[in-house]
Amino acid sequence: MGTDRQMTTGGGLRRGLGRRQMALLGLGSALGTGLFLGAGAAISVAGPAVLISYAAGALIALTVAFALGEMVSALPVQGSFGTIAARYLGPFAGFSVRWIYWLALIVGIGSEVVAAAIYLRFWWPDVPLWLAVVVFAGAVTAVNTAGVKNFGSTESVLSAIKAFAVVAFIVIGVVLIVFGLPEMPATGVSNWTSHGGFLPEGTLAIWLVMSIVLFSFAGIELVAVSAPEAEEPGKSLRGALRSLILRLTLFYLGAIAVMLAVMPWPKLASGHSTETSPFVMMFHAAGIPAAASVTNFVVLVTALSAANANLYASGRMLHSLGGDRLAPRALGATTRHGVPRRAVLVSSLGFLVTAGLTALFGARVFSVMLALGTFGVIAVWIIILCTLYAFRKDADRPPSTLRLRGGRVTPALGIMALLSVYATGFYVPEMRLACYVGGPALALLAVAYWVLVRRRTPLSGDPSDLPPAVTRTG
């Protein structure tokens, strides 16, 4: 009862995040296993041409990020793009996009924690994966139940560590490429074309790996989700998104270009597995075992940072659903410190599912989770771009501090590109599985909405009907 008295319903979130913390929060989610593990899988399919895939992925992510920025800078509301979708596309859109995103985040959290457990086995191969998952899950949950300022500080430190590590990795790689080491001559960039050319698997492979690539950029939405807890929502969002996209593009393209130059891509492809990060493999090949151990520690921190950031976002999404009575109302409560603890704890139950699946199927769980998470993220991104069209038609919308350029053409191209990734399910087994599971999941959400929610009074469409956490600041 004492705990209940400390909880408040409705908005309740506290503003405690600065622009730098918002940018690092987005970086914390997006700079995770998609780079450190997923890059190896992408290279094994496309070879050096994967650089084109990552450049295309960066353009798609940039489109979605600025579409988000245009809407959320005008309406930094609890529930973020989900609440805005309800306002402009209808209640079902707001209901479905938030639940899809929440489920995708839960899958993402699971994949990051599984990855962290895999990295731990670099030093202790006999540690059961499920046990490591449970330990890491407890630590991440504890951080997320702290106040937003403490969480923001923790995530900023973790994100800064891995950002510094990627920069160091690129610098060391450039040294190996240009100067070499006493035990390893300079490699140059001939490995980009020496083993079957730059397009060894043909141009089709560039498209086939896009599901892996887009999962790598998933997480940019967290900047928008955190806007209601920002000290200056509009200004902070603008600076955070620009900084985030620039850093992610440089990190992904730079790190993968270096990796492909230092090591022949067939070696990365033949030696790739979820048991060993390509980053660690590169340092082993360079004869720097100590650096490999340090790198493995960094990628472990990276995975935990991404899980931490994703749990933050999933808790806020579930909190907004509870506040709008699209989930049990108790989930819309916060503590006296503004933490949606109940929503965070319910979201953390996904860790238990992950631990169970890992105990049954081992490291194979990672690739399946990656595919399922990609399915959810692509669906969310498509809805975000569709919402932008309706948002722009509203003459009375609040002013935005960001704008996606290109008029109607840019979001249309983004939607077509995202739909084309779903089509890779005909060729990529993991994505085929994701489509088989994702389609019925969407149908189940539709049934749940019509049965459980439709009888309630939806938002009327007037901005004053948005949840109380809306702030008009631009």
Note the pLDDT tens digit of each residue in 325-375: 888 888 888 877 778 889 988 888 877 777 677 767 766 666 666 677 778
- Averaged pLDDT, 134-142: 86
Asked if residue 76 lies in contact with residue 230, where contact means CB atoms within 8 angstroms, the answer is yes
Q: Return the number of other C-beta atoms located less than 10 Å from residue 179's C-beta.
A: 9
Neighbouring residues of 237: CB distance < 8 A, sequence distance ≥ 6: 22, 69, 72, 73, 76, 223, 224, 227, 230, 401, 402
The per-residue pLDDT for 224 is 73
The per-residue pLDDT for 474 is 34
* 443 within domain boundaries: yes
* 299 within domain boundaries: yes
* 333 within domain boundaries: yes
Identity of the residue numbered 348: S
pLDDT of 108 above 80: no
**What is the H or E stretch that residue 337 is in?**
none
* 1 within domain boundaries: no
Total structural domains within the chain: 1
pLDDT tier for residue 469 given thresholds of 50, 70 and 90 = very low
* 12 within domain boundaries: no
CATH code assigned at 352:
1.20.1740.10
How far apart are the C-alpha atoms of 451 and 435, rounded to whole Å? 24
For the record, the structure tokens of 7 come out as 């909880």
Identity of the residue numbered 215: F
Does the predicted TM-score (pTM) go above 0.85?
A: no
* 3 within domain boundaries: no
The per-residue pLDDT for 9 is 35
pLDDT tier for residue 434 given thresholds of 50, 70 and 90 = confident
Higher per-residue confidence, 1 vs 273: 273
Concatenated DSSP letters for 134-156? HHHHHHHHHHHTS-HHHHHHHHH
Domain housing 243: 21-457
Q: Dump pLDDT digits (tens) for 189-232.
A: 999 998 899 999 999 999 988 888 887 787 777 777 776 666 66
* 470 within domain boundaries: no
> CA nearest 353: which of 152, 176, 138, 106?
106
Biggest alpha carbon–alpha carbon distance for the chain: 73
How far apart are the C-alpha atoms of 321 and 102, rounded to whole Å? 10
How far apart are the C-alpha atoms of 315 and 335, rounded to whole Å? 13
Between the alpha carbon of residue 91 and those of residues 97, 100, 203, the distances in Å are 10, 14, 41
Q: Where are the beta strands (DSSP E) in 166-272?
A: none
Q: Dump pLDDT digits (tens) for 21-78.
A: 666 666 666 676 667 666 777 888 899 999 999 999 989 988 998 898 889 888 877 7
* 191 within domain boundaries: yes
The per-residue pLDDT for 386 is 95
Which residues on neighbouring strands pair with residue 181, listed in sequence order?
A: 184
The three-state secondary structure class of 280 is: helix
Q: Dump pLDDT digits (tens) for 224-269.
A: 777 666 666 666 677 777 777 777 778 888 889 998 998 888 887 7
How far apart are the C-alpha atoms of 462 and 459, rounded to whole Å? 8
